[in-house]
Each structure stands twice: as structure tokens, then as C-alpha cells.
Amino acid sequence: MKIPKFLPLAALVAACLLPLFFPSCANTTEAPTGGKKDTIPPYIIDIKPLPGAVGVPVEGASFVFTFNEYVTIKTPANIFLSPPQVKMPKSRIRGHNLIVSFEEPLEPNTTYTLSFTDAIADTNEGNMFPGYTYVFSTGTQIDSMMMTGTVLDCNTLAPVKGATVLLHKDLADSAILKHRPYAAVKTDDWGYFVLPFIQDTVYRLYAIKDATPDNIYDPETETVAFIDSLIRPKMIAVDTLPEMLKYDMTDTLRCQARRSEHELKLFREKPSKQYIVKKVRTSERSAYLTFQAPGAWIDSLWIRGYRDDQVISQFNILQDSLELWINSRRAAPDTMRIFVNYRKTDSLGKLVPAQEIVRLAMPHDKRTYSKSSRRDLQHEDTTCVYTLKTSPETVEQNGFELEFRNPIITAWFDSLDFRAINTRQRESKAGFTVEQDSLNLRRYILRPKDKLQPGFQYTMRVPHRIFRDINGFWSDSSLVKVSLPTDETLSLLELELSGVDRKIIVELLGEKRDRVLRSYVVDTDGNLRFPYLKEGRYSIRITDDGNRNSIVDTGSLLEHRQPEAVTFVELKGSPYIDIPASTELAQPVNVSELFNHKASE
């Protein structure tokens, strides 16, 4: 027997009448066993009161949904009432019946929906009930309008299952932070939602990934999405509309054919409250402070016992983490006292000047060694520690990365030895440039001046004692070798960018879109090369870097700022690019058209 893809209300009502014409089977306490495995989901054969009931009492109301077989409640939280109450609906199983009641009074003259998605399964095989939305009213009529949409992740544009969509009549920006909504619903596997049987008026529309089932947004723990403008429903709720039907989530054609009026993109806001959340002494002469929110505003900072010119400090790009080093040969104190004058959030939520004295004890394993414990010293305890690394796939774009554990005070970069060994094993000296990372004063990029050649081997050698750090320690020698990949199965993807009318961040991602493999930041037309790719499926994500800071910025609810717009390059209608082995693929991309097309969808 074919599994039904959906259960429209008309079929449900017809099913409710069947018991009137056929005699009941004998009562049993167990479902029969034997035969073929049951793969058919349970379905409803009766509802009391019938759908569309009006005049439902505000207190003591209960609803009975009778199934064709024994069922169990898999996820009580997915028995969802809209408008939601403080307490979830109370549900229990009795025989073939699901009985739903409420632990607090309903609102008078209000249309309610009770939805079941991924909540009910049959007892024996665990086949999931496809879902149903039941409507009733405590007034004299059922509200008739509806609204649809889709919730996506702002970074991957993947649909978000189980997001809570909130519809507010209170148009204040802070309503989502303080009050339960007028209506709410959960998204399905496709991130799709329908808000049916709502009033014909204006609303604000939000979505959250609700960490606690209170239907109120908590910026500290939850993600959020919102529609910029006020919206008013345009569609009338009719049971037979494709948008109202409950589909098998594997039925791609029907699920994707549903009309989606609104698109919401979930993002995580930057924390708004500012204070120091973490303070760590990492060594005798180093420490770091972490702030709750980005953009920490420091008026002044000093370390007791040291002059300003003896303190090296560095913020990260978000300015929410501050590294500190003491550049002095004097023995470091057992307790480092850091005086921080900064703008801290007060009890009223305002930034006010505050001073905090941070006391950091010396880590136990970093205390000055006595003569009797000199044998416990590790080599790295008396050395300028650094890492030198590169990879065959990225050396052309990123060069060699040289990063020190501590800031260096003496450096002879001219002593670095970069050599090329050709296919005949002839060795020659090669040129390179040195670039200090603007965001990390301990990191340097060494880039070859000449184009690297296939089949050549390249070596970067760091001689002994050419770098000295703030501890007075000198560096050891090291050598890194690299050659361009020669695997003939590797492929090349080249993007031919045109219409670049803004600064953009172009990133190559794997199929899961959870890791950036290569990236470029550009603001002019040109070609971007992604060489040495293994056979597989990739994505090209392009972000509109609106504030031109070269990072992907999130949004702000109260500032009405959406996260920076993201789109994916599509090839043959797919947001993924399948790269065969041993292929050179050129893909033209008109950036202006790409973003304008997405904006018009």
C-alpha cells in the first residue's frame, strides 16, 4: 500500500465517518504481531470537537484525537499551541486517543491553532504521524487569513528545521524581548512555515531558534531573524491550499512547490552588555582579557611596576579580546596587577566609565625555577618559540606563515634563506617579501616574489639566533620544504568576476559548508583561481562586505540591521559546484547581477 503524502481536511472528515458504517473489531490491549513490517504512518479517524469549533470555553477545554492504531507521544514540545501560553499544552494517551488540555485559561474571542509536527508515532514500528493543524476559537468565528515563509541560516542559506516563527501585534522593537507573540509556529524540515487562521491586520514577523520554550527572544543564548518592515497577510486560509497540507518531507517536488511569501535569515547577535568576562595569565610576561561584547572601549590601561612603553597590547579584529605582554628583563611579579579604565554596562544598560583592577597570579608551572629544579626546564622554556608552515595547495596564495609565541624585539629577516631546486636538482636563491599581519603582531607572511614552478622544490630556512623575543630568548633554526602538487587528478576552478560594484568576500567551501578552504577579498573585476582541488562537491560563497572591514558581519535586531548579504554561485541551477577529476573549469560570475537577482526573489 502506498503511503499517503498528505492528509487534507476533507479526507480527514470522511475518515471520521467510517466508524459509523462499519462494526468495531474486538477490543485488544496489544497490537497484532506477525506479517509484513508496518511502514504506514498512523492517521486520525475522529476528532472531538470537530475542526473549526467555536465557542470553546476558556477554562476546562480538552480535545480528543482518535487514531487508527496505538500511538505514543515522541516529542511533547512539538504539540504546539498558537497563540502560545506560558505552560505547554498537556497531552496524554488513552487507548487510541490523544487527549490535549491546557493548564491555564485560554484568551476570550481568540482563534487558536494546535499543530502536531514530529510529535506522534505509532507504538510498534515508530512510524511518524505526518502532522496536522487543528483550529478552534473561544469566540464566535474563526480568523481567516494566513502567512507563509521560510527560515534560513544566514551563513549557509540552509533551511532551519524547528525554528520558532513569531508574529507580534505589538509593533515595538522590544516586544520580542518581553512578550509572548500573538501567533507562533515551528518550521518543518525545509525551514518552511505557515501561520494560518490569523487576523487581517499589520504585524512584525520574527524567527528564533528557541533554546527555552518560552517564545521570547534571549539575545545571550538564541539566534534571531526578522523582516525589516511591517507586514499584513494577503492569503486566505483554505484547507485545500498546497501550503496548508501536511506533506511527507521526502516529497521534494511538493515541498518545494509551496509558496513562500517571506524569507528570514537567522543570525547570532553580538552581545550588547559590556564587561570583562575572562582574565588569564598565560606566562610570566603575558596575559589576556576577554570582553563580553565586541568593540571594547578602553580609556586607559597600565600594569603596576611598568612604564607604558614596556607594555605591548593587541586587540583582535572584533576588539573583544586583548592580549598583553611585558617587554622588560626585570623578574616578573608573582601577581600581575592590571588597571583597566573602560566603558562598562551599568544596571540601566548604559555604557559608563569604570575601573577594574585585574589581579593575575603567576601560573604554577611558569614560576621562576630554582637551581634545584633547573633539570625540569623544557627546551621551549628558554627559546624564542615560533612556527613556520605552509601547504602545497595554498603556498601560491598565502606564502609561508611565520608566527611567534611572544612578540619579537630583534629580527633579521634578511638572514632567512629561501631557495628553489629545479627538476635537474640545481639550487638557486629566490626572493621573497615580508609582511606583518595587521591583525596579529606576532604573525608574518613570507611570499615568494617569483611565480612558483611545477616540479620545483622550495625551501625556507630559518638560521639559528636571528629572532629574539620579549623574554630575551633567541630562536632555533628550522627548515620547511614545499612543492606544488603534481597529482594529475587535481582540478582547477577559476572564477571570472565581472560587475564587481562593491567590496566582496569570496570563499571556497566544502559540500557541508562548515569550513572555509580558500578565501579572497576583492573590490574590482578579475579572475580568482582555486587550484589543486580534489574531485568532489564545493560551494562558492560571496558576501557583500557592506562596511568594507573584510570580515562577515552579523546583524542587530534593535538597530534594524540585517547580517551582511550572502549568496552562492549557482552552476546549472545548483548552489553546489561538482568538480570532476583532472578538470579546468572556468565560471563567469557577474556580481552585480547575482546580488540584484537574489534581492528580487
Q: Identify the pLDDT of residue 389.
A: 97
Q: Are residues 530 and 541 in the same domain?
A: yes
pTM of the model: 0.83
Q: Taking the CB of residue 121, how many other CB atoms lie within 10 A of it?
A: 18
The dihedral built from the CA positions of residue 267, 268, 270 and 273, taken in this order, carries a sign that is positive
SS3 for 375? helix
Domain count, the chain: 5
- The answer to whether residue 315 sits within a structural domain is yes
pLDDT over threshold 90, residue 426: yes
Please report which confidence band the pLDDT of residue 248 belongs to, taking 50, 70 and 90 as the band edges: confident
256 Cβ contact list (under 8 Å, min separation 6) = 190
The total number of residues shown for the chain amounts to 601
Residue ending a domain, choose from 466, 483, 500: 483
Q: Are residues 246 and 294 in the same domain?
A: no
Q: Are residues 13 and 124 in the same domain?
A: yes
Please report which confidence band the pLDDT of residue 35 belongs to, taking 50, 70 and 90 as the band edges: low
SS3 for 114? strand
CATH number at residue 210: 2.60.40.1120
Residue 591: which H helix or E strand, with range?
Answer: helix 591-600
- The answer to whether residue 372 sits within a structural domain is no
Q: Please, are residues 417 and 476 in contact by the beta-carbon 8 Å criterion?
A: no
* Residue % of the chain over a pLDDT of 90: 79
Residue ending a domain, choose from 206, 237, 266: 266
pLDDT over threshold 90, residue 241: yes
Give the C-alpha distances (Å, rounded to integers) separating 425 from 420, 457, 482, 497: 9, 9, 14, 39
Residue range 433-453, pLDDT digits in tens = 999 999 999 999 999 999 999
Residue ending a domain, choose from 443, 458, 483: 483
Residue range 282-331, pLDDT digits in tens = 999 999 999 999 999 999 999 999 999 999 999 999 999 999 999 998 88
Range of the domain at 80: 1-20+37-142
CATH number at residue 451: 2.60.40.1220
Q: Please, are residues 491 and 533 in contact by the beta-carbon 8 Å criterion?
A: yes
Please report which confidence band the pLDDT of residue 573 belongs to, taking 50, 70 and 90 as the band edges: confident
Residue 528: which H helix or E strand, with range?
Answer: strand 526-533
Q: Are residues 13 and 91 in the same domain?
A: yes
The dihedral built from the CA positions of residue 256, 258, 260 and 263, taken in this order, carries a sign that is negative
Q: Which of 570, 577, 593, 568 is nearest to 535 (CA)?
A: 577
- Strand segments, DSSP code E, in 308-424 are 311-315, 321-326, 335-345, 351-361, 386-389, 400-404, 408-411, 417-421
9 Cβ contact list (under 8 Å, min separation 6) = 51, 239, 240
Q: Which residues are bridge partners to 47 per DSSP?
A: 65
pLDDT over threshold 60, residue 421: yes
Residue range 88-129, pLDDT digits in tens = 999 999 999 999 999 999 999 999 999 988 899 999 888 999
Q: Are residues 337 and 205 in the same domain?
A: no
427-429 and 432-436 beta bridge pairing: unpaired
Q: Please, are residues 121 and 129 in contact by the beta-carbon 8 Å criterion?
A: yes
- The answer to whether residue 349 sits within a structural domain is yes
Please report which confidence band the pLDDT of residue 11 belongs to, taking 50, 70 and 90 as the band edges: very low
Distance CA 253, CA 233 (A): 25
- The answer to whether residue 32 sits within a structural domain is no
Q: Are residues 9 and 115 in the same domain?
A: yes
Q: Are residues 328 and 443 in the same domain?
A: no
Q: Are residues 361 and 394 in the same domain?
A: no
What share of residues in the chain are helix, strand, coil (percent, to 5)?
10, 40, 50
- The answer to whether residue 148 sits within a structural domain is yes
Distance CA 520, CA 599 (A): 23
The terminus-to-terminus CA distance of the chain in angstroms comes to 40
Place of cell 504585524: 203
Q: Are residues 119 and 244 in the same domain?
A: no
Report which of residues 573 and 475 the model is more confident about.
Answer: 475
- The answer to whether residue 184 sits within a structural domain is yes
Q: Identify the pLDDT of residue 172.
A: 93
Q: Please, are residues 366 and 284 in contact by the beta-carbon 8 Å criterion?
A: yes
pLDDT over threshold 70, residue 249: yes
The amino acid occupying position 495 is: L
Q: Which of 223, 212, 154 is nearest to 562 (CA)?
A: 154
Q: Are residues 135 and 153 in the same domain?
A: no
Q: Are residues 419 and 429 in the same domain?
A: yes
Q: Are residues 87 and 224 in the same domain?
A: no
Distance CA 600, CA 594 (A): 10
Distance CA 212, CA 14 (A): 39
Distance CA 545, CA 28 (A): 65
Taking the mean position of all CA atoms in its chain, how far away is CA 416?
Answer: 41
- The answer to whether residue 530 sits within a structural domain is yes
Residue range 518-544, pLDDT digits in tens = 999 999 999 999 999 999 999 999 999
SS3 for 365? helix
For the record, the C-alpha cell of 276 comes out as 570583562
Residues 348-377 have a mean pLDDT of: 75
* Residue % of the chain over a pLDDT of 70: 91
- The answer to whether residue 374 sits within a structural domain is no
Task: Name the strands in the sheet holding 491-498, side by side, starting at the edge strand that comes first in the sequence.
Answer: 526-533, 491-498, 584-590
